Amino acid sequence: MFLFICSAIGFQSFALMYICFLHVILQKLNAMNPKPEIFIICGDLVDAYPNKFPKIRDAQIKDFKEALAGLSEEISVICVCGNHDVGEVPTHQTVAKYNKDFGDDHFYFWCKGVLFIVLNSQYYVDATRVPDLKKAQDNWLDHVLSLEERKKAKHTIMFQHIPWFLHQWYEKNVAIDVKNTLRTKQLVVYECDDQTTDVLLNIEKATRLSMLEKLHKAGVNKIFCGHAHFNCGGYYKNMEIVVTTAVGIQLGQDKHGIRLVQVQENDIKHKYFKIEDVPENINLIDTHEPKDICKETDTPKLTFNGLKMNFFKSILTLIGCTRRSPPPPVYLISFSVCKR
């Protein structure tokens, strides 16, 4: 999600910050008792676009994998495909490169009676060069959602990089005004109904509405996303969209951190923690306040005033560092009650 500031200087400058945060997080994970089952990195695994900066990207992938090698073998790592991982307009080459480096871009798995579905959300942003791959994912998703065993799942949880929406399902498309963002050094976004060449923070409305309805109808409970660099989210009917800020660069008021998700027999709780506040024991019971379910008649809550970008200062202090990329949003999953 850092694409709009991803000059070579920009992302290389965050090397030290990224690697430090990642190591601290991995240490915290390893020290947890009990350990979380799954560590999910919710897209933009590396920053350098595959078709623009292949050498830098290869170095970033190497660093990324070396860092993750320090994670306890008791914790499974799940990678989600982001816009930086396959490019804003994916091609067969960039997707094949992703498959080679990280594995499938869409897949599902079971853990303790809970079904997890991972999507490549970039196909919903721009599939003009890979219509066959988008079609294949759509067909695959329909198949997974219709599985008899899926209907018996305790929960169905999805992960994808680009959120369907930021605050409300009926919001307009939200794009980043790159020029004014860089000029004012504050995040500047605008709403639009039509196509834009700027990067969207949510998914285009017509696609969004049809997909949300399909996913809700199929029984998906929660969808965890990244990309926005600030925490937000909302509901479509009773299906929650949770958007978690990045570990690294913040575009809002949140501090660097991760989200912990606790899956219980009849509920899924989640809470965002600053890195220094990540607990050794996960117990989110009674900590998650459910939000009201939004109706279209509700007053829109799209407020971006006050979102400040903190990273220009970081660029100055970290300049000179190389190779590694800004960290993406991450989730930890803990199962407290569910049994396989």
The site for Zn ion (CB under 5 A) is made up of 1, 44, 82-83, 227
| Contact indicator for 113, 153 with CB cutoff of 8 Å | yes
**CB of residue 88 vs Zn ion: minimum separation in angstroms?**
9
Residue whose structure tokens are 């923690």: 273
**CB of residue 42 vs Zn ion: minimum separation in angstroms?**
9
Of 36 and 329, nearer to Zn ion (C-beta) is 329
**CB of residue 328 vs Zn ion: minimum separation in angstroms?**
8
Of 1 and 45, nearer to Zn ion (C-beta) is 1
User: Which residues 6+ apart lie within 8 Å of 183 measured at CB?
Assistant: none
- DSSP code of residue 201: S
Beta strands in 56-200 (DSSP E): 76-79, 107-111, 114-118, 155-159, 173-176, 189-192
Of 1 and 218, nearer to Zn ion (C-beta) is 1
Task: Give CA–CA dist 197/150, Å, rounded.
Answer: 38
Q: Which two tokens stand for residue 20?
A: 């430090």
Q: Which residue is nearest to Zn ion (CB)?
A: 1
Of 1 and 81, nearer to Zn ion (C-beta) is 1
Of 4 and 21, nearer to Zn ion (C-beta) is 4
Of 244 and 314, nearer to Zn ion (C-beta) is 244
Q: Show contacts of 282-287: CB within 8 Å, 24+ apart.
A: 282/32, 282/34, 282/36, 282/332, 282/334, 282/336, 283/336, 284/260, 285/336
Taking the C-alpha atoms of 11, 15, 17 and 21 in order, what is their torsion angle to the nearest 10 degrees?
A: 110
**CB of residue 151 vs Zn ion: minimum separation in angstroms?**
32
**CB of residue 161 vs Zn ion: minimum separation in angstroms?**
6
**CB of residue 314 vs Zn ion: minimum separation in angstroms?**
18
